[in-house]
Amino acid sequence: MKKLTFFSMIIIFCSFSLFSNDELTPIVENNLLGYINYEGNIEITPQYKFHKIYKETKINGKIYRIPQLEEEYFSEDKHCIQKMKLYLWGLIKIPQDYAIINQENSVLIDDLDRGYMSYHEGLAKVEIMESYIYNDSDPEYGFVNERGHPAFPINIQSKDAEETMILNKDVRPNTSPVVTAKMIPTGIQIISKTGRKNKEENTITVLKGLNYYTPFLSIATNFIDGYALVMSKDYKAGEDNYFFINTNGINQFQTRYTWASKFSDGMANVKLNDKKFYIDTNGKKVFEYKYAKAYDFSNGYARFYQDGVFGFINKKGKEISKQRWLESGDFHDSLAFVMIDDYFGYIDKDGNTVIDAKYMYARDFSEGLALVKNQMNKWEYIDKDGKSVISADIIYGQPFRNGLALIINSDGMGQYINHKGEIVYEFPKRFGAKQ
């Protein structure tokens, strides 16, 4: 009996360790952003501007406005916020400067003129340029390091003069670079504003007839496995212009692809001319494929789509099974959902059905749990054995993250629940259901 009791204690301890989490989870109250811990206690009082949109989602014939909080999580213990000044007991909210804070709500970088996206591998993507050169309003991106400095120098190159002019090389800490470019009668005027509050201005004119290059990016992903997928703004129609940069801003593989996807699970899906293949983190071709479409790797496997059905391949390009499915998700927690005879179930990495196809709808596993809709039209979370572990009042749910999942109950209230299905936090207002 003593051994059994001791063993049980170990199981309970391990379960608690698996589900406990020190990361904070975002909340929104009165359009102000704050954070709670795993137990639902408020760690950072809602005080920052909530920038993200509310997504209108139709549920059971009603429209709900659900706050999009996916981009508001901390990454590498940093997050960019916009401070607010509140007047008249909070009735008037005036946006202030941006800042980078940590999970203790300490300011790491202050007085930023614009918001940074989340940090990944020490660098954050930022919109750095308002350009009139290309006669469009598409955003252009660069990267900043953990001190708020531009991660790579901004170069204006003139081949005729055989010289390179570097802007922003002396940007001081805690500042954000602003670079604008506009057409003038004699050529292109590049204005770089740096220093606190961007009051220090430097102007360079690139004369007509000279070639110029600005490494501003019209497409940029976060850094993954040491690389970011980018497409530079000097792109010309018909040219191959997707490439991967390292954390020094260098085209790592000295190759520009016709098309590419970001690195995932150590592999990237690329196309060069008419060839489609995967590369590894050394830029080496691993295998070619001829499927109509192939997806990113996850948990060691990638989906492909051919002739109206889905299958899976491993990192050698070998199909895991001859079986095909009308719908499928990627592998998460070693399982993937698939559709079999109009119902959803889950398969393992050998293509074997391990959770019977009996659900009307299914989603990816996350933290050992997956949201499914059973044949009684009820949402529930199941474990990897297919056992229902949370069957609360749920009309909408999201995957677990940091030990918590956002759900909406039948009264339209947004709630965070833990792995036991316990409500640890309830949003103060309904998520705005309307006909």
Does the predicted TM-score (pTM) go above 0.85? no
pLDDT at residue number 136: 46
Q: Give Cβ neighbours of residue 180 (< 8 Å, ≥ 6 apart).
A: 129, 130, 131, 190, 191, 193
pLDDT at residue number 85: 86
pLDDT at residue number 160: 37
pLDDT at residue number 433: 58
Instruction: Give the domains, in start order, of the chain with CATH numbers.
Output: 301-430 (2.40.10.480)
pLDDT at residue number 89: 67
pLDDT at residue number 114: 75
- Strand order across the 79-87 sheet: 79-87, 92-101, 107-112
pLDDT at residue number 219: 85
pLDDT at residue number 181: 52
Identify the CA nearest to 143 among candidates 214, 217, 212: 217
Low-confidence ranges of the chain (pLDDT < 70): 1-20, 89-90, 128-139, 153-216, 233-239, 433-435
Q: What is the DSSP string of 140-173?
A: -EEEE-TTS-BSS-EEEEETTTTEEEEESTTPPT
pLDDT at residue number 156: 42
Q: Can you point out the beta strands (E) in 88-122?
A: 92-101, 107-112, 116-120
pLDDT at residue number 177: 47
Is the separation of the CB atoms in 267 and 297 below 8 Å?
A: yes
